[in-house]
Amino acid sequence: MTRFGGRRALVTGASRGIGAAIAERLAADGAAVAITARTLDRHDHLAGSLTETRARLERYGGSVATVVADLADDADRARIVPEAADVLGGPIEILVNNAAAAMYQPLADFPLRRRRLIFEVNVHAPLDLAQAVIPAMKEAGEGWIVNLSSGSTRLSDGPPFEAGALGSTIGVYGASKAALNRLTNSLAAELYGTGIRVNSVQPRAAVMSEGADELVGGKLRPDQIESMEEMVEAAVSLCDCPAQVTGGILVSLDLIESAGLRVHGLDGKPLG
């Protein structure tokens, strides 16, 4: 049997970027995968869609469910898990909370509307989806919840401050991801002993997805970038990790090195 054969997974923000890549890797390794995002066929300026991701996943022969939903809308996201489970034929066993709202601008005039949107998508939606999958995971005695975080949670040393290429403009986004990390750790502690593992993982360096390229393209040195395959390898390792691996706030390349992981392509074949 393949690595995730017989497992059902849900990946948010899967129309492009890291979410689409994680979904493909899970499908390549045998999982039945539900993908969700707002973009079914075409985004107004970014490449990628659920239709394109679905086509990539279907090449591996497993079941694929597509759920179009806006994670900023609490009523909309409430139907994601039930619809995914219905199409895949059973409860979700692996939840990957990848979707994120990223808007960068100085804090002195950062609008409340944008702040609320960022926290709605980056904090409330992952917890709502986790709450939706937990009952079935508890009944089964196992489950995996993986939250995608960010290095923007790190504080800037100073004064004088070294705030990086984006400076303070990344403050609200970073605060939302710091909140997600805290919820990850607390939920893991709360669920410890049930067999449900809850972890977060963030890139050590930037992963140049379509969205990242739009926001920071051309602003980073080569040593500030890591490959999509490395980020996916780290994330997928937490989708079938043992029960004692829970509550971690992990960094992609550090995890790969400490666990001695071999990096694979999105098709599941070893690289190099």
Q: Which residues are catalytic?
A: 173
Stretch (H or E) spanning 20: helix 17-28
- What does the DSSP assignment read for 44-56? SSSS--HHHHHHH
- Token representation of residue 227: 């490959």
Q: Helix H segments across 109-267? A: 112-119, 125-140, 171-191, 210-216, 228-237, 252-259
Backbone angles phi, psi at 165, to 5 degrees: -65, -30
Using CB atoms within 10 A of its CB, is residue 210 exposed (0-12), middle (13-18) or buried (19+)? middle
